[in-house]
Amino acid sequence: MDFKHISVLPKEVREAFSNLKKGSLIVDGTLGGGGHSKILLNMGFKVVGIDRDEEALEAAKQNLKEFEGITFVHGNFTDLKRILSDLNVKKVDGMLLDLGVSTHQLENKERGFGFQGNLDMRMDKTQALTAEKIVNEWPAEKISEMLYRNGERVHNQQIAGSIARYRQNHRISTGGQLLKLVKFSMTERYRKSRKHHWATPTFRALSIEVNGDYRNLGEILKIFPEFLNKNGIFAAITFHSIEGGIVENHFERLKRDNKVKILAKSGIVASKEEIETNPKSKRAVLWLAIRR
């Protein structure tokens, strides 16, 4: 399987964990194809690699087969307590979350994260909720509210209305169908004024809802300090402002409770050189905290 993905901020991730001793145990809660874990393993650390996507896990096993210091786990990082308990681990020295969608997932039409192919969008294909179920079965008001909450804050009502009218006679089962409905809900002038693709907020909002991204992020941010040793590192890479705001707000709360020290308060962004070679890194922000 060709699992395409270039991990963002590799130098910055390496630097973030550089003060830990060799042999330290780090949780990579979003293993993906294993790009960041490879950096950590090459630094002499041990890694617990967790991912909801079984395809990603299989790819990581191939990409990291030369290393002995990694344990692979199919699961959600919100289940960290159970996962570590199963491994007889009480605390770790670091945690890393890369909250982006991989190039492989975006380009694989069967996964339905992009504008073409099936309307699926599940990271974990064993779960029941899909994007297709949302657009065909949820009330228009609930769809509108979901779009607004997850980032489509301009045309949420118009898009929800277009979906509700269309599905009276047709089932919405492909990204192409949804793309046309989103386009119909916006003026040409608005679409041409966008720096990024005009349909991205809608598709991203659906993906966030299907996978519980904000809920999961909030849950791990509440509990991660209890699983980190003193001076342990927590790192999260976000790709849009709502996500970044969730991390920033939780960091501030934990700082007030004297549980963490925040590094780089506004986050760390990619260098111009990296953005030129990997455009996806342009929106990436690395947030760092140290356990007190």
168-203 pLDDT, tens digit each? 999 999 999 999 999 999 999 999 999 889 999 999
d(CA 52, CA 126): 9
Q: Which of 145, 150, 180 is nearest to 162 (CA)?
A: 180
Q: Is the pLDDT of residue 108 over 90?
A: no
Q: In what order do the strands lie in the sheet with 260-269?
A: 70-74, 46-51, 25-28, 92-98, 228-238, 285-291, 260-269
d(CA 144, CA 124): 25
Q: According to the model, what pLDDT value does residue 101 have? A: 77
Q: Is the pLDDT of residue 109 over 70?
A: no
How many degrees, rounded to 5, is the angle at CA 139 between CA 137 and CA 141?
A: 150
pLDDT digit string (tens) for 139-172? Answer: 999 999 999 999 999 999 999 999 999 999 999 9
More confident position, 107 or 290: 290
pLDDT digit string (tens) for 27-69? Answer: 999 999 999 999 999 999 999 999 999 999 999 999 999 999 9
What average pLDDT does this structure show over 258-284? 94
What average pLDDT does this structure show over 198-212? 95
- Domain residue spans in the chain? 10-104+213-291, 113-211
Q: Which of 11-25, 58-72, 89-103, 263-277 has the lowest mean pLDDT?
A: 89-103
What percent of the chain is modeled with pLDDT above 90?
88
First-residue to last-residue Cα distance in the chain:
42
Where does the pLDDT of residue 275 fall: very low under 50, low under 70, confident under 90, or very high at 90 and above?
A: very high
d(CA 64, CA 70): 8
What average pLDDT does this structure show over 254-283? 95
In the three-class reduction of DSSP (H, G, I as helix; E, B as strand; rest coil), residue 249 is classed as helix
Question: For 10-104+213-291, which CATH superfamily applies?
Answer: Vaccinia Virus protein VP39 (3.40.50.150)
Q: Looking at the structure, give the CATH architecture of the domain made up of residues 113-211.
A: Orthogonal Bundle (1.10)
Q: Name, in order, each residue with C-beta under 8 angstroms of 152's C-beta and a sequence gap of 6 or more.
A: 159, 201, 202, 205
Q: Is the pLDDT of residue 3 over 60?
A: no
228-238 and 46-51: which strand pairing?
unpaired
More confident position, 196 or 5: 196
Q: Is the pLDDT of residue 115 over 60?
A: yes
Q: According to the model, what pLDDT value does residue 125 have? A: 87
Mean pLDDT for the chain overall: 94
Contact criterion met (CB below 8 Å) for 160 and 166: no
